[in-house]
Structure 1
Amino acid sequence: MGILSVLLGLVACDNQRIAALEEGVATEADVRQRFGEPEKIWQASDLAGNPFPGAAAEPGARTFEYNRQPEGQVNYMITIGADGKMSALRQVLTPQNFALVLPGMPMEQVRKMLGKPMKITPLPLKQETVYEWRYSDGPNTPRIFRVEFDKDLKVVRTGSVVDERAPGVNGNVS
């Protein structure tokens, strides 16, 4: 139960942080005050080739990545426009975004779309690398999204499986 309560606490804290930020009003300082230092800061030119760039690709924009992996089930991308105000806040670990990860896509582009994975597993014999992210497919459906890359760091296949380690799955109690 300890891990479950920590996870629920993180979700509650994130919801409070998000509720306190309004697009077009909140400043970079407001975002940093609520979320802290980002895992990564992406420039507009970094995200211009993504399937859903939106405000993140506007000149002068920067996108802050707030990663909740490996134990959480979300990754947030918060875009700060050239005017210093928050222009977008997205939770990117969704089935809709996973559907945009296609064979042949470069590893770097997947990383920019979904944020840092919870786990990276090299498979030397297959000459592949697997990235995994935890996410929630509904209120009580913890899952893991997997992307397999070939030796050239291009997507070979993707898939989603039940997160067997999650509390409550297969009788797991923490």
Structure 2
Amino acid sequence: MMTKFLAALLVPGALALLLAACDADKFSKLRPGVTTADEVRQIMGRPDLEWRDPDGSRVWEYPRTPEGMVNYMVVIGPNGVLREVQQVLTEDNFRQVVPGMSKDEVRRLLGRPAHQRLFPMKGETVWDWKTKTEPGMDWFFNVHFNQDGVVSRTSTNFEPRG
């Protein structure tokens, strides 16, 4: 039984499916307006990063990259109760990434990237997030930062799998 399970993890995309199934179970236990911050931590674990908003709310980042195609931001209101869960890797959020944004602003909007690659000859760093998987290839949304850590442009690409 365990051998079949481990073999399934070696199949492309199997880990992403396993993560999605685990997330569905965890998120089904979260109730906006009811679940406390402590309960969110018990269910979801420690967030990757915490952001503080001016109204006193906290936003906890739960990335599912590099294998997953989702990143979650869990908003805890100033009263310590779950306000909402947001899946932030969306076309609307990708359109909000514009030249001049800082790395912190992009991270707050999209969560942790799947990859961060430095291209010294171009003088840029590229962050990417997987957006979809097709037979034999993965698609990515890319954000290009100049040497000052500021967005210079965005792009998309695909990479063959296997």
Q: For the superposition of Structure 1 and Structure 2, which TM-score range results when normalised by the shorter chain?
A: 0.7 to 0.9
Give the share of equivalent positions with the same residue, in percent: 39
Checking the alignment, whether the CA contact within 8 Å between 1:95 and 1:137 is kept in structure 2 is no
For 2:24, what is the secondary structure of its paired residue?
helix
* 1:2-151 paired onto structure 2 within 5 Å: 2-3=9-10, 4-45=13-54, 59-136=55-132, 142-151=138-147
Q: How many Å separate the matches in 2 of 1:106 and 1:2? A: 36
| RMSD (CA atoms) | 1.9
Q: Of Structure 1 and Structure 2, which has the larger fraction of its residues in strand?
A: 2
Query: CA 1:29/1:64 → structure 2, altered by over 3 Å: closer, same or farther?
Result: same
Deviations 1:54-108 (A, max 9, x none): xxxxx11001100111111111000100111111100111111100001111122
Checking the alignment, whether the CA contact within 8 Å between 1:131 and 1:148 is kept in structure 2 is yes
Tell me the amino acid that sits aligned with residue 107 of structure 1. Answer: K
With normalisation by structure 2, the TM-score equals 0.85
Tell me the amino acid that sits aligned with residue 146 of structure 1. Answer: N
Q: How many Å separate the matches in 1 of 2:22 and 2:103? A: 31
How far 1:42 moved relative to its partner? 0.8
- Of 120, 128, 148, 1:152 maps to 148
1:161 aligns with 2:157: yes
Structure with the bigger RCO (C-alpha within 8 Å, sep 6+) is 1
Tell me the amino acid that sits aligned with residue 2 of structure 1. Answer: L
Q: Figure out how many residues of one structure are paired with residues of the other and give that number.
A: 151
With normalisation by structure 1, the TM-score equals 0.80
How far 1:143 moved relative to its partner? 2.1
Query: CA 1:41/1:119 → structure 2, altered by over 3 Å: closer, same or farther?
Result: same
- Where do 5+ consecutive residues of structure 2 fail to align? 1-7
Q: How many Å separate the matches in 2 of 1:105 and 1:137? A: 28
- Where do 5+ consecutive residues of structure 1 fail to align? 46-58, 166-171
Q: How many Å separate the matches in 2 of 1:32 and 1:85? A: 12
Checking the alignment, whether the CA contact within 8 Å between 1:134 and 1:163 is kept in structure 2 is no
For 2:106, what is the secondary structure of its paired residue?
helix
